[in-house]
């Protein structure tokens, strides 16, 4: 059995590869491409993802994010993880999980003492706010050429969580 190679996200030719089972696959692909464009433009980083379902290479990343959400906010995401990624740019670890519902969760974790640490939620265009987030977070809107209307929210991490794969 071969292990799937990480998928480099192309923000010029947006693809639903890896996200096909999502009911908002096109919008989720646009959201993923929007993130890829940001990291390419700001840091020159190639945004790659890998499958995150149980038994897949990115499952450990989805599990780490799930544990962090449970620990920090007693929060459980009800959707299946499809893809994940983790990387470090400019002394900050970033971990992303893209869920079947159209939700993207990212964890920004500065590696130096006293640096920023937060969890961000982004909702794909056309998806409803997941029940587990609806009463707990307010979502701001932003427009994206790649992703349409993105709704986002975040919270600051208070505890100590070692980023995965460092």
C-alpha 123/C-alpha 105 separation (Å) is 9
The pLDDT of residue 144: 84
**Residue 1: per-residue pLDDT:** 43
* pLDDT at site 4: 58
**Domain locations in the chain as residue ranges:** 7-156
Give pLDDT, residue 131: 94
The pLDDT of residue 5 is 62
Q: Which residues pair with 144 in a beta bridge?
A: 148
Q: Where are the alpha helices (DSSP H) in 2-134?
A: 25-43, 59-73, 131-134
**166 residues of the chain, pLDDT tens digit each:** 445 568 889 898 999 999 999 999 999 999 999 999 999 999 999 999 999 999 999 999 999 999 999 999 999 999 999 999 999 999 999 999 999 999 999 999 999 988 999 999 999 998 999 999 999 999 998 888 878 788 999 999 999 898 988 7
In this structure, the chain runs to a length of: 166
DSSP label of 43: H
Six token digits for residue 74: 């007693």
This prediction has a pTM of 0.93
**Cβ-Cβ contacts under 8 Å for 95 (sequence gap 6 or more):** 61, 64, 65, 84, 85, 86, 106, 107, 109, 163, 164
Decide: 157 and 117 in contact? Cβ < 8 Å.
yes
- Per the CB < 8 A criterion, the answer to whether 83 and 18 are in contact is yes
Residue with tokens 């989805």: 62
Contact assessment for residue 52 and residue 86, using Cβ atoms and an 8 Å cutoff: no
State both tokens at 131: 């029940």
pLDDT at residue 114, as a whole number = 87
Looking at the DSSP bridge assignments, the partners of residue 119 are: 107, 155
């Amino acid at each position: 059995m071969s292990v799937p190679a990480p998928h480099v996200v192309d923000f010029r030719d947006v693809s639903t590869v890896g996200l096909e089972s999502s009911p908002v696959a096109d919008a989720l692909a646009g959201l993923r491409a929007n993130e890829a464009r940001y990291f390419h433009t700001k840091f020159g980083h190639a945004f790659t993802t890998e499958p995150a379902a149980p038994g897949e290479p990115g499952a450990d990343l989805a599990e780490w994010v799930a544990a962090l959400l449970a620990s920090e906010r007693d929060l459980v995401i009800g959707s299946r993880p499809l893809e994940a990624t983790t990387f470090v740019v400019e002394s900050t670890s970033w971990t992303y999980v893209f869920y079947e519902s159209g939700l993207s969760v990212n964890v920004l974790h500065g590696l130096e003492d006293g640096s920023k640490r937060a969890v961000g939620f982004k909702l794909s265009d056309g998806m409803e706010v997941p029940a587990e987030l609806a009463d707990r977070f307010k979502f701001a809107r932003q427009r994206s050429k790649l992703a349409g209307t993105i709704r986002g929210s975040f919270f600051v991490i208070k505890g100590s969580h070692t980023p995965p794969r460092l």
